[in-house]
Structure 1
Amino acid sequence: MATATSAGGGEVRLTGICRSYGTTQVVRDVNLNAAGGEILALLGPSGCGKTTTLRMIAGLVQPSAGEITIDGAPITGLPVHRRNLGMLFQNYALFPHLSVLENVAFGLAMRGASKTETTRRAREALALVRLAGFEDRMPAALSGGQQQRVAMARAIVYRPRVLLLDEPFGALDKKLREEMQIELRQLCNELGLTTILVTHDQEEALILADQIAVMRGGRIEQVDNARAIYERPVSHFVADFIGSSNFIAAGIVEKTGDHTLLRSAGGHLFASTVANDFSATDRVAVAIRPESVRLSPGEQPAAPNTLSGTIRRSLFKGQVLSVWMQNGSNGEFQVSVPIEEAGTLSPRPGEIWTARWSAERTLVVREQ
């Protein structure tokens, strides 16, 4: 059934894309590539330029500079209706006076497809999103998740090669949002659609995307797969935006291959075996994920990747116990204790404990 609804995904390439409004440049020299059938997430805080970038791909906004191609063919100057793109936005924009089937069929009818072809393909698209049997219902009679599925069926019914999604799950509650994320991933993979997703939800990007482009201030900060983005962030911003990290400013004192030795202003030593491209002249910081840290009671002898401090507070979060300790000039340090270990570790405010972690978990990132 997938081949009846999709022609497969096209390769989308952005080269030197910029967009300015007056003297304000909201997108700056963006270079991106979404391979055929790949899901690419544009991730970043509000105002970083991700939605403007998506709207330029859609044709809703014209770039001030640069070129956009699909399978090598320029589309930068084409109007929206000639780009053959499926679009799904946070506001599903269903026609309230049309049935589910009529909503899905509307785009095909506007493209001149016959009534028989329109009905057949609209039913196929509804079956793909698990809404067979809902054809005669009105949008007002549907749940939020069902409305989202109708909007998805409408976006794929005319067999686009690229699907554009702008915060598509923002109106759904957490449990339904997670279910829809998994369904969307399965559907895009089944149809072979190239999908470009805009989100500010880090977890959503990690779940859905083959590649994640982290944006900041209109620029691309880092592009990589989800695991690499999480385990090898290149900057303080990326490490802080994707998950949680402890940051300690430090300078590189020695580097041999992937082995890096760093020292903080307070004299603490940190050893890292995570590959990085920095030199002794770069402003860097050590980043340590809270889940990479292990705690032991009392103050332990000074050693690389070891800090002792005073417990400030702890917070039960279901699967983990989050603990914060104060370590002099290095400030507050967060540790995530797995719940199965929390029964034997019970750090209390005011006590001295020691945090330690491995060189394999010591990240070196560009300082802000």
Structure 2
Amino acid sequence: MEMTMICCPFRTSYGSYASSLMAAIERKTGSKMKWVASNCGCGDPIEVSRSFQAQHCDYFEMPIITDYRSKAAWRRRVRGLARSGISYLRAKKYAQLSKEADVVHFQQILNSYGSNAVFHWLKQPSRAIRVVTVHELDPDQLEFPERNKTYELADGIIVHCEEMKKQMVKLSVPEDKIHVVLHGATVPVSLPETPRSGIMFYAGHKVMTNKGIQTLFQAMAIIQKRMGEKTPTLKIHGHYGETVPREAEKLAAASGLASRVVWLNQLTIEEMARQYQRALLCVLPYTGSFAGLSAAIAAANELPVVCTKKAGLPDHLGDCAVWVDEGNPEQLADRIIELLECGERRRELGARLVERAKDFLSWDVIAERTLTVYATSARKKAAIARLPPLPLKNRRGL
């Protein structure tokens, strides 16, 4: 079976996701998976520098027209038509480069991998089973919800959490096509015997948006007042590049935490796992976005997590996390201190988390569930192909 993945090829969280999933699928099937990719236009330092995650891929470049919204209606219309035209050409190229595949799996993100590209791609003629993983919903499909009917052309749709599935259903995406498949992680055979210290915080691609960093800094300021010199270091990393985001750095200083924060910035997945193996806690007070990557790696490395019930965290952590309300720094500080002061509780949570990771989050499990979506989608496509044609009077109503 020929399989192709269409995804961002750079050292972003998405490039890492695709690389890990493809490797696991290849182990399961014994078949090599093809990677098709283009420049994405996100403007992140990793994309600008063309720092590739993909070792081998069919890569091409096209012009990028950014999603700038002019105040003038005619300018917005012209820009929108131009963006749609480029998306059409890009989608056509994606289809051409994957035309030999039996299964094509598109990772929907933003920009060159956003809804415009996905919908144009789905409208291309194809004999393949076509599956879309929706990582993010972009402004275009939210502003024009009727466009989401195009998902009906997909044979299967994957999301990473129930929250996203509900959003998709609200956008009139057929519920029977949507499958929840969690984000994966590599589960080590054993962990190194190293002392643990510090608190990990994953800031994603956009540090100041939906990550709860403001609440976290307020909580850390409270902890610093209570614990003094015993306050642990807060280690911050994300897929925002090698430079500390200026606004976040200013906020840390204004919160009196400049000496307590270590900016690890962009880490490889391997280094991320090593950092989590050496930390005491992971704190994810998210108000939106998606935190499945950090949650899965924390679970795989026996790192207790204090977090909100947002961003796919309940799906990935089950009943093995310490939950807090959104925007409540006092409560967050209390829960963090309780765990810092109780090694037995941390070890108990860590043991439960790694068992959950083995059962639900390992890449082999994620690959198996993804292959199940491929098989289910193939059966449905075949069943539809065998249906008799609709009577003419019903066709007119389509």
* Pairwise same-fold verdict (TM > 0.5): no
Give the TM bin, normalised by the shorter chain: under 0.3
Provide the TM-score with structure 2 as the length reference.
Answer: 0.26
Q: Higher helix share goes to which structure?
A: 2
TM-score, normalization by structure 1: 0.27
Q: Which has the higher strand share?
A: 1
- Find the structure with the greater CA-based Rg: 1
